[in-house]
Structure 1
Amino acid sequence: MTSDRSAARDPGDGVLGRGTGSIYWFLVVGLLLVLTTLPGTLPLMLLDRSTSNIPLVALCLVPAGPALSAGLFAMRDRYRAESLTPMASFLRGYRLNVVEVLKLWVPGLAVLTIIGITLANLEYAGVPGGYGVVLVVLAVLFSVWALNGLVITSFFALRTRDVARLAVYYMARTPLVALGLLAMLVVAAGIVYFTFDVVLLLVSPILVWLLLRTCDAMVSHVEANFIARGGS
């Protein structure tokens, strides 16, 4: 009886304990997101918002891919970890996924850079205005595809070409996920455009958590249909 009462009084078992643990997890993941993206965010904040800097912006965003993947890994681990270990979860996710994420992230940034430069110089190219609309649609579709691929890579050990195919497949298989990702891209762009880049960093753990929740259906379907038992 005594042991049961002491267990009931365990601070981690109560609402306050769980809430405090969640806040701690978010704060640590947020700090690690800032630290791992620092090599890119510092020069990014010094750049003018000029179309001529589009290639430099893409270069500054390279560290964001592995950091975002590690953040997703750590946020998902929060529901499975037996103790408060957000740093260990983040670092493990970073170590496991950094190479595979960059295989998708860097080419993705390169394609979006080409589209961005083309759009910025559309008036000098002498092409119909409708061509710009097509490029915007392509950029949106490619961004959603890249996020799908990043999420899949963050949780499952698959070949890059298989991830690329699954990312396309789930754009049609889970359209609500695709719409959610599009909404998140709009929110992130709005934060950067109307405030400062640093504000996006401050809310990054919340955005990562929302990204995880948005992709729940896709992740569950991948796990149930394409992953053997014992996979990550």
Structure 2
Amino acid sequence: MSTTSAAHKEFGEGPLARAAALVYSLLVLEVLLVLGAAPGLVLLGLLDRDASNVPLAALCALPAGPAWSAALYAWHRRSRDLTELHPARAYLRGYRAAVPGVLKVWAPWLAAMAVVGTTLTHRDAAGVPGWWMALLAAMAVVSALWVANALVITSLFTFKTVDTARLAAYFLVRSPRATLGNLCMLAAAVAVGAAGAWVLPCLLASVVAAATLLNCRPMITLIREEFTA
């Protein structure tokens, strides 16, 4: 009996088994994440690459928020026990739980980015000076880092929307390493999209979600220790 238990334990804790479990979770969550964002991705693919479609592009991104949040939740709840490996179940549970709170953060942010994007792409028509354009671009970057924090917080914790917004802003300064890491991932995604390979970030969304959660681990720990009972 002890020999059988030891063999079972060795199999479950071996590097090959853990690697297979990680790949399995990556693939399952990638499929679910893409399916969750699919309505917007399909519509986005049908849009012409024209500046006038910036507000519509923002609208197409609406389903991506809850899908991303559910992936964060599933990664956070991922069990080390291979007999309890249920990424799809965790994803669906996270999706149902997070949708109301996520949309309260995600939808206003998308609306604000639609306004900023429209202004930046219609500079001449708007008559905006160059220094104001630079300021708007900087604000867009900072707000993207803020919403990254906000989505992590609202996916893993239950706070009022205003408290989530304040914590997300607070940890931009409190966790500079996490902020820098998110900035690097944002820059990489923008560079890939600018190169025309915008599909690649979608295909690696599950990996990016796992990396984001790992990068924000100090923030998650501090929130659990200082802001939850």
TM-score using structure 1 length = 0.93
User: Cα deviation per residue 1:101-128 (whole Å; 9 max; x = unaligned)?
Assistant: 0000000000011011111111233332
Offset of residue 30 of structure 1: 0.4
Q: How many angstroms apart in 2 are the aligned matches of 1:181 and 1:50?
A: 28
Q: Which residue of 2 aligns with 1:179?
A: 180
Shift of 1:196: 3.2
Q: Equivalent residue for 1:78?
A: 78
Structure 2 counterpart of 1:51:
51
Matches within 5 A, 1:155-194: 155-194=156-195
Alignment of 1:15-54 (within 5 A): 15-54=15-54
Aligned to 1:94: 95
Using a 3 Å threshold, how does the CA distance of structure 1 residues 127 and 195 change in structure 2: closer, same or farther? Answer: closer
* Distance change >3 Å, CA 80–CA 152, structure 1 → 2: farther
Contact 2:79/2:85 (CA < 8 Å) preserved in 1? no
SS in 1 for 2:166: helix
Structure 1: tracts of 5 or more residues without a match: none
Q: Is the 8 A contact 1:69 1:101 kept in 2?
A: yes
Take 1:115 and 1:175, find their aligned partners in 2: how far apart are those partners? 25
CA contact (8 A) 1:45 1:197 kept: no
Quote the sequence identity (%). Answer: 41
Gaps of 5+ in 2: none
C-alpha displacement of 1:32: 0.3
- Please tell me whether the aligned partners of residues 72 and 209 of structure 2 are also in contact (alpha carbons under 8 angstroms): yes
Structure 2 residue 209 is the aligned partner of structure 1 residue 208: yes
Distance in 1, matches of 2:206 and 2:37, equals 13
Partner-residue secondary structure (3-state), 1:187:
helix
Give the aligned residue type for 1:23: V
Question: Superposition RMSD on alpha carbons, in Å?
Answer: 1.4
Q: Counterparts of 1:95-110 in structure 2 under 5 Å? A: 95-110=96-111
Number of corresponding residues: 226
> 172-181 or 59-68, which moves further after superposition?
172-181
Deviations 1:145-203 (A, max 9, x none): 11111110000011001101111111111122111111111111222222433322211
Greater mean alpha carbon deviation, residues 14-23 or residues 76-85: 76-85
Rounded Cα–Cα distance in structure 2 between residues aligned with 1:33 and 1:20: 20
Query: Contact 1:108–1:146 at 8 Å: present in 2 too?
Result: yes
Deviations 1:74-106 (A, max 9, x none): 111114666110001101111111110000000
Most deviating of 60-69 and 77-86? 77-86
2:142 maps to which residue?
141
- State the match for 1:8 in structure 2: 6
1:69 equivalenced with 2:69 (yes/no): yes
Greater shift after overlay, 181-190 or 123-132?
A: 123-132
- Using the alignment, how far apart are the partners of 2:61 and 2:72 within structure 1? 17
39-48 vs 85-94, greater mean Cα deviation: 39-48
